[in-house]
Amino acid sequence: MLFLSIYTFYYSWLTLSWPSTEGKISYIENNQKGSTSAPKGPLFTVNVTEAFYTYTADDQDFYGYTSINSSFNKSKNITVYYNPKEPSESTTHYGINWSYSLTFLLGSIIIGIVAYLWHKKLYP
């Protein structure tokens, strides 16, 4: 979890230097995603709305997808941030995503404390 927290923070930080361009939503899809199947079906399901978008960078057309909220519509233009070294790599989420980074970091700390206390209990 700590690695994921650091990776998420680092990747978000990298996007701060990425240029932006205008993109267009080409397709919106509502999916119901579930956990690993149990004998009687998925343990839980989540409704996810994904938007597939197109954008132009370095005179080439690219596409990407992102999770969106219901306020987006197909005719809406969006801001796309792309990696200047690899223009096919893009995101619609700009900057540091504190909620993901802090969530994973907090989870790592909690796991570390529990592991320490468990180890201390087994080996006093």
What pairs with residue 67 in β-bridges? Answer: 50
Residue 9's pLDDT is 72
The whole-chain average pLDDT of the chain stands at: 79
Residue 86's pLDDT is 94
How many domains are contained in the chain?
1
**How far apart (Å, rounded) are the C-alpha atoms in residues 33 and 115?**
32
pLDDT digits 0-9 by tens, 20-29: 999 998 888 8
Q: 53: domain range?
A: 2-122
Q: How confident is the model at residue 78 (pLDDT cuts 50, 70, 90)?
A: confident
Question: What is the radius of gyration, based on Cα positions, of the chain?
Answer: 19
**Is pLDDT above 60 for 81?**
yes
**Is pLDDT above 60 for 1?**
no
**How far apart (Å, rounded) are the C-alpha atoms in residues 73 and 51?**
9
More confident residue, 116 or 6: 116
pTM comes to 0.61
